[in-house]
Amino acid sequence: MSTTYNVIGTRPIRHDGADKVTGRALYGADLQLARMIHGAVLRSPHAHARILRIDTSKAEALPGVFAVVTAADFPPAPADKIVDFGEGDTLLSSLRGNILASGKVLYSGHAVAAVAAVNAHVAAEAAALIEVDYEPLPCVLTAPEAMAPGAPILHENLPNGNVAELIRYEMGDLAAGFAEATVIVERELDTATVHQGYIEPQNATAFWSSDGRIHIWCSTQGSFVARDASAAVLDVPVSQVKVTPMEIGGGFGGKINVYLEPVAAMLSKKAGRPVKLVMSRRDVFTGTGPTPGSRVRVKIGVNDAGKITAAQAWLAYEAGAYPGAMVGPGAMTVFACYDIENVLIEGFDVVVNKPSTSAYRAPGAPNSALATETVLDEIAEKLGIDPLELRLRNAAKEGTRRADGPRYKRIGCIEVLEAMKASPQYNAPLPGPNCGRGVAIGFWFNAGLPSSATLSVNADGTVNLIEGSTDIGGSRTSLSMQAAEVLGLRAEDIHPTIVDTDSVGYTGVTGGSRTTFATGLAVHDAAQMVVEQMKARAARLWAVDEVSFSNGTFSANGQSLTFAQLAAQLGATGGPVSCSATVNPKGVGGSIAGLIIDVKVDPETGKTDVLRVTSVQDAGKAIHPAYVEGQMQGGTAQGIGWALNEEYFMDADGDMRNGSYLDYRMPTALDLPMIETIIVEVPNPGHPFGVRGVGEANIVPPLAAVANALYRATGKRLNRVPMNPATILGL
């Protein structure tokens, strides 16, 4: 493996930059089609209610209305059919029930019916004319309440009340481990439901043509997953559906699931026209998948040497209306940064009357890391040792076994901790009273999954890259750079295009921090095939057997041609060169991230000012360092918002009272300092350039780092996130 690169590690301008900054880039809401009409979705005002009757006659009679659909228009879902979302599976019946409620509504905001009309205003008016009779039922809004005896039951068919799944990982001898400990700390911490907070609302436009083919344009993290899920809900073969991914205004895991796509398709089938659906911000908060609220209890014992002897965790995550709370990854990551012999982890996936949760950046991991990393902070204080030193004494390394089974290959935990210790911030004094510094680390697995790419050589020496990965964080460029590196070209010589599901091989979601890794591998492999074919052309041209290629130049026997010179002669040497590769990589490298945060708390108001932040992460190899830094800063900003102010503020009836960006308090640019970044590079042996995914691990440490900083600033260990001004004052 070469360690010096021409393109990798540089910071070229992104290929889609001009389109994005000039407003020319087309998002789903921008789409206009001939004869297109507009839809509106009617949502439940109740968190839990039986649907007694739906009468759509008045809506259908309103002039300008083309179609009305309810759950009754959709094919029934077989009880046990699974839909594969790449980052997680879902029961088709759950997906289908979430798209339009049938029998019962399970959360306030649950879609009940939809209308298509000549314009969005008529559609909204028609939706309001749909009469729904509800029999309200008692609702349950938190995991501990939903697990209690006598709680209202959401699904009659779950075997354990509202508990959809139990997880148990056990390793070593827990009792013996705790018996060896000289210090044991146990804490229980709650987190509130929070939303990914992407800027662009969900949208979908669909046309169900009279020959049965369905074309969907939407904002999605994975066009093939949107295709497969829509086909499953509509009960049509996948080949009958084509999904064209539009530009995406953020997803963070929340745009893997489908909400509007099948509804727009069914409205189109009935109306005979293309139908566009766009969510309002309130629809996004109440009708899409946030990340679970949780209760996590962690107990850790250490000996006098600061070595963890035993660790125990109990996790209950709120799945929302349907099973699937990401408690699995929460359980697998809770002690993932540490080498511990004796472990017991129990996890509970609990349904509650809130929106059905979905993935959010390292889903499940920040909730559990909050407990582990604050308990370790307390232990470090009790032992009188530096909190980073305590972590270093227990850091996971190559060969460490996680309680859920896997043994790590090369992993950068020690390197990240050393970088944190050596960072300018960690060695700078705090500016004065009421200030505190907190640290924490976190782990995320990252994903592999299939990806495809096609490279075709243009006669002018440039190369077209055809791929199917939604570009959320600059992946057009990070993929082009990997092709350019192999082909000896500049990043600008590669022209990336993201195409529809009929036009490229199967590609999994842009999620699990996998695109630069897995689609990058497909691009790398396709580029190597291009090199081999180009070598063969040069060999034919020069009538030699062996051609070498380096730094963009083909040569043999003293003759040489640059890539562009040879590209101009392809027509005369056998025709165009184009190569495709599809990969399903297994060599995924997990990533460790760490955070150092300095805060100042106003003792009279409880307001926290974030003074300084350093994010440290193992990128394996940073293909485009600016985009790696952007991921680290983005995950850190989201994690700090989660820690300090964000939450679904529900009333007792389960209605969200702050479903707007005015009152759902995400941090703005004025609330955070410039986030300093330190990229650590411990190459992943499973990727030709050493890439590890970088999109997610960075959101794992902030909750705990903020909690630890607040403790140092105020002397209080709070047990609930968000740690907002009122809770800091205990008011």
- Closest approach, Cβ 507 to other proteins, in A, equals 38
At position 326, the amino acid (one-letter code) is: M
**Is residue 199 a contact point for other proteins (CB under 8 A)?**
no
Of 20, 24, 121, 168, which lies in the binding site for other proteins, with binding defined by CB under 8 A? 121
Q: For residue 546, indicate whether it is catalytic.
A: no
Binding mask 122-151 for other proteins (x = CB under 8 A): --xx--------------------------
Of 39, 450, 512, 667, which lies in the binding site for other proteins, with binding defined by CB under 8 A? 667
- Closest approach, Cβ 636 to other proteins, in A, equals 17
Nearer to other proteins, 570 or 729 (CB): 729
**Is residue 658 a contact point for other proteins (CB under 8 A)?**
yes
* Burial category of 557 from C-beta neighbours within 10 Å (exposed 0-12, middle 13-18, buried 19 and up): exposed
**Is residue 662 a contact point for other proteins (CB under 8 A)?**
yes
- Closest approach, Cβ 601 to other proteins, in A, equals 12
- Closest approach, Cβ 317 to other proteins, in A, equals 23
Nearer to other proteins, 1 or 670 (CB): 670
Nearer to other proteins, 317 or 664 (CB): 664
Task: Name the pairing type of β-strands 203-208 and 275-278.
Answer: antiparallel
Q: How many residues bind other proteins (CB under 8 A)?
A: 23
- Closest approach, Cβ 709 to other proteins, in A, equals 16
Q: What is the DSSP letter of 194?
A: B
d(CA 377, CA 380): 5
Please check whether residue 477 is in contact with residue 14, taking contact to mean a CB–CB distance below 8 angstroms: yes
Candidate ranges 141-149, 328-336, 657-665, 681-689; the one touching other proteins (CB under 8 A): 657-665
**Is residue 725 a contact point for other proteins (CB under 8 A)?**
yes
Task: Return the C-alpha torsion angle 216, 218, 224, 226, nearest 10.
Answer: -90
- Closest approach, Cβ 673 to other proteins, in A, equals 11
Query: What order of strands is seen across the sheet that includes strand 49-55?
Result: 104-105, 49-55, 131-136
d(CA 279, CA 270): 21
Q: Please report, in angstroms and rounded to a whole number, the separation of the first and last CA atoms in the chain.
A: 58
**Is residue 382 a contact point for other proteins (CB under 8 A)?**
no
- Closest approach, Cβ 671 to other proteins, in A, equals 5
Would you give the distance in Å from CA 619 to the centre of its chain? 17
| DSSP line for 226-254 | HHHHHHHHHT--GGGEEEEE-B-S--TTT
- Closest approach, Cβ 665 to other proteins, in A, equals 6
Q: How many CB atoms lie within 10 A of CB 571?
A: 10
- Closest approach, Cβ 274 to other proteins, in A, equals 23
Candidate ranges 33-41, 60-68, 199-207, 659-667; the one touching other proteins (CB under 8 A): 659-667
d(CA 66, CA 208): 14
Q: Where are the alpha helices (DSSP H) in 467-585?
A: 475-487, 520-542, 563-567
Q: What is the DSSP letter of 509?
A: -
Segment 322 to 361, residues that bind other proteins, using CB under 8 A = none
**Is residue 490 a contact point for other proteins (CB under 8 A)?**
no
At position 57, the amino acid (one-letter code) is: S
Segment 588 to 627, residues that bind other proteins, using CB under 8 A = 604-605, 607
CA distances from 269 to 32, 69, 99, 127, 485 (A): 18, 10, 17, 18, 47
At position 114, the amino acid (one-letter code) is: A
**Is residue 62 a contact point for other proteins (CB under 8 A)?**
no
- Which of the following is catalytic: 87, 200, 378, 696? 696
d(CA 21, CA 655): 37
Whose CA is closest to 518, among 398, 647, 684, 634? 684
Nearer to other proteins, 546 or 604 (CB): 604
Question: Which element (helix H / strand E) includes 419?
Answer: helix 413-422
Find all residues with CB under 8 Å of 631, minimum gap 6, and list them.
473, 694, 695, 698
Please check whether residue 698 is in contact with residue 635, taking contact to mean a CB–CB distance below 8 angstroms: yes
- Closest approach, Cβ 723 to other proteins, in A, equals 11
Reading the block at residue 364, the tokens are 């499940």
**Is residue 671 a contact point for other proteins (CB under 8 A)?**
yes
Nearer to other proteins, 170 or 671 (CB): 671
**Is residue 645 a contact point for other proteins (CB under 8 A)?**
yes
Reading the block at residue 531, the tokens are 């090199």
Nearer to other proteins, 144 or 725 (CB): 725
Nearer to other proteins, 34 or 731 (CB): 731
Q: How many CB atoms lie within 10 A of CB 605?
A: 11
Nearer to other proteins, 525 or 647 (CB): 647
Candidate ranges 268-276, 427-435, 624-632, 643-651; the one touching other proteins (CB under 8 A): 643-651
Nearer to other proteins, 52 or 662 (CB): 662
**Is residue 203 a contact point for other proteins (CB under 8 A)?**
no
Of 79, 543, 652, 670, which lies in the binding site for other proteins, with binding defined by CB under 8 A? 670
| Residues with a known catalytic role | 696
Contact footprint for other proteins (CB under 8 A): 121, 124-125, 604-605, 607, 644-645, 649, 657-658, 662-663, 665, 667-668, 670-671, 724-726, 729, 731
